[in-house]
Amino acid sequence: MSKPHGGEAAWRDTCPKRDTVRPMPAKGNDDLPGPRQVQFLTVAEVASLMRVSKMTVYRLVHSGELPAVRVGKSFRVPEQAVHDYLDNAYFDAG
């Protein structure tokens, strides 16, 4: 029996075996000049850090007060943005 000329069988024949594909090693960019690597937090991590509910974090994200990146159906917030928000949130109560 001959193999089909397209479809899944053809792709399977040209695809490398799963155990032969190795992940690329992480590059050590700490010593290179330029912007530093951005660390992202989940909404739950931001809520824990700020000691508020997740709904409060979602409100801040949707209002634009806290920048975030949408990844699929979830949000990721840059860690520095959380610290900047908290630094600017202080007010004089007295």
Higher pLDDT, 67 or 32: 67
pTM of the predicted model over 0.85: no
pLDDT in tens, 34-93: 667 889 999 999 999 999 999 999 999 999 999 999 999 999 999 999 999 999 988 877
Could you tell me the residue ranges of all domains in the chain?
Answer: 43-94
Separation in Å, CA 27 to CA 19, 21, 36, 39, 64: 22, 18, 13, 16, 33
The residue with greater pLDDT, 33 or 83, is 83
**Amino acid occupying residue 30:** D
Collapsed DSSP state (helix, strand, coil) of residue 72: coil
Averaged pLDDT, 16-43: 66
